Amino acid sequence: MAVKRKIIKDRVPTPERPVEERVKSFVEVNLGYTFELAVKEAERCLQCPYDYAPCIKGCPVHINIPGFISKLVEYRDNPDKAVKEALNVIWACNSLPATTGRVCPQEDQCEMNCVMGKVGDKINIGKLERFVADYAREHGIDEELLFEMIPRIEKKGQSVAIIGAGPAGLTAAGELAKLGYDVTIYEALHEAGGVLMYGIPEFRLPKDIVEKEIDKLRKLGVRILTDHVVGRTVTIEELLQEYDAVFIGSGAGTPRLINAPGINLNGIYTANEFLTRVNLMKAYKFPEYDTPVYVGEKVIVIGAGNTAMDAARSARRFGAEVTIAYRRGEEDVSAREEEVAHAKEEGIKFEYFINPVEFIGDENGKVVAVKFEKMKALDERDARGKRKIVGTGEYVTLEADTVIIAIGKHPNRLIINTPGLNVERGRIVVDENLMTSIPGVFAGGDAIRGEATVILAMGDGRRAAKAIHEYLTKKREGQNA
């Protein structure tokens, strides 16, 4: 398609729910594009060639981004056709686009080096991806594409067990099912989805969307066993007797705590506990739902990553005054730009260069304040390029009746205690094919990375599926020979 394009500098904005409405509810903040708006944004894309396009290079799963965007323009007179073609391009690399379109840090990945950025706004790739997925789901186009795909699957007669129904496991399961393997996912919680269900809030990623993405996997024949805690209900050793290969996608579920006096006072949550209560158990609908969550009037969230923003914005929706306390400066905030912007719009305060040293409680063991040491940044930088920080010896105490600790997570402990599984600093060690020290057992996502993003976990899920396919193909051929 050698169409000469004119430069349109400004991004087509996506409508958002007004601030005063959203701080009172958990409904999704960003409303996404309509077809007309999506086409308008798609037209801005310069259509860089495949082997050059910086967006494809920046995407951890290498979606042909100009390819799917061009379909929206090419078939602009037939929205259903346009979306079906675009979805087909995305699905070649990513089976959960409704999710990634919402939660990927696009500004650090596909959109980072967008050529349009040199003359105007970068293309809004995330929102276009989300549009394709949403429109396809709402119009049954994803099912249509799925049902066209299913009869073409050739059964391989081999089976794979997947541990964890989070982004890595779901992706691996989808890819392996498409390749014709019998796939069973073992999930500890009562719902599949992992962090997409328990961690990321409804207002950022509606749960019915996640459920529908998971339904597609079930239609592909993937079996999901909830309530099965690998390490307790069944061991990896036992899985290997029943299945031809195993993939560990058990994530980073163990919360990091702050080693400071008073950490176990009432009113102090890990972000995991707070978000699990709110998202998975739907505590924002208490007492209609049985699980409560206590949110006071003054909430301090410690940390400045995506999880911290999710916790802060959730607490805000309970009517609390919320402060994010970060030991570094604004430049080092690691959350997605959109989340930080939304948090600020919603009235969340940011306090920089303060590090908690003590949690102060009342006579009932309930937190009432947090004592912080003031920090300062040095010119010297650490291995991650962040300025080093040191304590100043000066302290400040902030009142708080609720504290949420969002300073990161470690991989789940139950799995890493498997005999024979090589683990370093809590992370499962894998080779270049994502195989662990146990033959036939592969791993990916936060279980090997510590704590990363949904899309990196999904990228691992895809790579592992490919490696498992190669491993099982050899095994099959070995048996036939």
Partner 1 sequence: MPYKILDKKEIAMNEVWYRIHAPHVAKKVQPGQFVIVRAFPTGERIPLTPIKWDREEGWIELVTFVRGKTTMRMANELKPGDEILNVAGPLGNPAPMKKFGKILAIGLITGMVEVFPIARAWQELGNDVTTLHVTPNPMVILKEDFEEAVSRHIVEGYDLQPGWGMQEIAQELVKRAVAKVKELLESEDWDLVFTVGPAGGQKAIFNVVREYGIPMEADLHPIMVDATGMCGACRVTIGGEVKFACIDGPGFDAYKVDWDELIHRTGFYAPMERLALETYLKQLQAQGGEQ
Question: Binding of partner 1 at residue 50 (CB under 8 A)?
Answer: no
Say how far apart CA 311 and CA 324 lie, in whole Å. Answer: 10
Least distance in angstroms from the C-beta of 46 to partner 1: 44
Strands 223-225 and 268-270, how do they pair? unpaired
Among 286, 345, 374, 398, binds partner 1 (CB under 8 A): 286
Question: Binding of partner 1 at residue 429 (CB under 8 A)?
Answer: no
Least distance in angstroms from the C-beta of 232 to partner 1: 6
Say how far apart CA 428 and CA 421 lie, in whole Å. Answer: 7
Residue closer to partner 1 (CB basis): 94 or 276: 276
Among 205, 281, 311, 464, binds partner 1 (CB under 8 A): 281
Among 148, 413, 422, 474, binds partner 1 (CB under 8 A): 413
Least distance in angstroms from the C-beta of 254 to partner 1: 6
Among 30, 270, 323, 453, binds partner 1 (CB under 8 A): 270
Among 120, 221, 255, 408, binds partner 1 (CB under 8 A): 255
Least distance in angstroms from the C-beta of 139 to partner 1: 28
Find the part of the chain contacting partner 1 (CB under 8 A) among 44-52, 63-71, 247-255, 346-354: 247-255
Find the part of the chain contacting partner 1 (CB under 8 A) among 291-299, 303-311, 451-459, 468-476: 291-299
Question: Binding of partner 1 at residue 277 (CB under 8 A)?
Answer: yes
Residue closer to partner 1 (CB basis): 447 or 467: 447
SS3 459: helix
Q: Kindly report the backbone phi and psi dihedral angles of residue 371, in degrees, each rounded to the nearest multiple of 5, phi listed first.
A: -95, 130
Find the part of the chain contacting partner 1 (CB under 8 A) among 69-77, 109-117, 182-190, 426-434: 182-190
Q: Are 283 and 277 in contact (CB under 8 A)?
A: yes
Say how far apart CA 477 and CA 41 lie, in whole Å. Answer: 49
Question: Binding of partner 1 at residue 237 (CB under 8 A)?
Answer: no
The sign of the dihedral angle between the CA atoms of 53, 57, 59, 63 is positive
Least distance in angstroms from the C-beta of 323 to partner 1: 21
Closest CA to 312 of 304, 370, 351, 28: 304
Q: Kindly report the backbone phi and psi dihedral angles of residue 205, in degrees, each rounded to the nearest multiple of 5, phi listed first.
A: -145, 95
Say how far apart CA 137 and CA 151 lie, in whole Å. Answer: 21
Question: Binding of partner 1 at residue 330 (CB under 8 A)?
Answer: no
Residues in the chain: 481
Q: Kindly report the backbone phi and psi dihedral angles of residue 182, in degrees, each rounded to the nearest multiple of 5, phi listed first.
A: -85, 120
Least distance in angstroms from the C-beta of 219 to partner 1: 18
Number of neighbours of residue 34 by Cβ within 10 angstroms: 14
Among 35, 75, 294, 395, binds partner 1 (CB under 8 A): 294
Taking CB under 8 A as the criterion, which residues in 96-155 touch partner 1?
Answer: none
Say how far apart CA 404 and CA 402 lie, in whole Å. Answer: 7
Q: How many residues bind partner 1 (CB under 8 A)?
A: 43
Residue closer to partner 1 (CB basis): 149 or 234: 234
Find the part of the chain contacting partner 1 (CB under 8 A) among 136-144, 210-218, 266-274, 454-462: 266-274
Could you tell me the two tokens for 163? Answer: 């541990």
Say how far apart CA 106 and CA 50 lie, in whole Å. Answer: 19
The residue whose two tokens read 């529908």 is 212
Residue closer to partner 1 (CB basis): 208 or 288: 288
Question: Binding of partner 1 at residue 290 (CB under 8 A)?
Answer: yes
Closest CA to 166 of 471, 470, 465, 453: 453
- At position 302, the amino acid (one-letter code) is I
Question: Binding of partner 1 at residue 263 (CB under 8 A)?
Answer: yes
Say how far apart CA 276 and CA 290 lie, in whole Å. Answer: 13
Each as own residue / partner, the long-range contacts of residues 377-384 (CB below 8 Å, 24 or more positions apart, any chain) are: 377/328, 377/329, 377/353
Question: Binding of partner 1 at residue 395 (CB under 8 A)?
Answer: no
Question: Binding of partner 1 at residue 287 (CB under 8 A)?
Answer: yes
Residue closer to partner 1 (CB basis): 407 or 467: 407
* Backbone torsion region of residue 425, taken as left when φ is above 0, otherwise alpha when ψ lies between -120 and 50, otherwise beta: left
How far is residue 463 CA from its own chain's centroid? Answer: 17
Q: Kindly report the backbone phi and psi dihedral angles of residue 310, in degrees, each rounded to the nearest multiple of 5, phi listed first.
A: -60, -45
Question: Binding of partner 1 at residue 76 (CB under 8 A)?
Answer: no
The residue whose two tokens read 């090997």 is 448
Least distance in angstroms from the C-beta of 120 to partner 1: 44
DSSP 193-205: -THHHHTS-TTTS
Residue closer to partner 1 (CB basis): 18 or 292: 292
Residue closer to partner 1 (CB basis): 21 or 290: 290
Taking CB under 8 A as the criterion, which residues in 197-236 touch partner 1?
Answer: 198, 225-229, 232-234
Residue closer to partner 1 (CB basis): 59 or 368: 368
- At position 124, the amino acid (one-letter code) is N
Interface with partner 1 by CB under 8 A: which residues? 188-190, 198, 225-229, 232-234, 253-255, 257, 263-264, 266-267, 269-270, 272-273, 276-277, 281-282, 285-292, 294, 364-366, 412-414
